[in-house]
Amino acid sequence: PQSVKVPPIAVPGMRNLILNNRLVGFSNDIVSSVSAARNEAIGSRQQVGIEPNGGDWSQGWLVFVDANDSGTFDAGEEIVREIEAYPASMTVRGAVPADNIVFTSRGIMSDLGGWGTLTMCDDRDAGRSINIAGAGNVTVKKLEIGEC
């Protein structure tokens, strides 16, 4: 049997590809979760929230129907979507908005001033900066290696 030799340059390139895909996955998960929450709020005519697991967005989050309008997930409330934790190499950096993301039964954010910006970075100091405006519009900014 012959062995295949991988040129040394391919290994760092593959690692960067995997790490970049994780960052893209994170930003896609946030965008789709915001969309799902807004749509569920309109469809169910109930308040819907997005809450990070243990207060840490890198540990994943829940999209839930906020039946008692508390703005936080309570036992027995319907989970619309659950995002699992990200690898330990990915961390949230900088100031993190203190509140959960909450949409009213009309599909608008409870805080019309906007939710704020969340920055997720990896161990290369590359990342994604995600801003959620008052209307629920999400913008994603790519941060190159060394920019986090």
Does pLDDT of 136 surpass 90? no
| Residue 109 contacts residue 103 (beta carbons within 8 Å) | yes
Q: What is the mean pLDDT of residues 94-114?
A: 85
Q: Give the C-alpha separation, 81 to 32, whole Å.
A: 10
pLDDT of residue 110: 86
Question: Which pLDDT band holds residue 67 (cuts at 50, 70, 90)?
Answer: very high
Residue 98: pLDDT band with limits 50, 70, 90 = confident
Residue 5 confidence (pLDDT) above 70: no
| Rounded average pLDDT over 64-80 | 96
pLDDT at position 9, please? 55
Q: What sign does the dihedral 100-101-104-108 (CA atoms) show?
A: positive
Q: What percent of the chain has a predicted confidence (pLDDT) above 70?
A: 91
Give residue 114's pLDDT. Answer: 77
DSSP character at residue 110:
S
Q: How far apart are CA 51 and CA 29, in angstroms?
A: 13
Q: What percent of the chain has pLDDT over 90?
A: 72
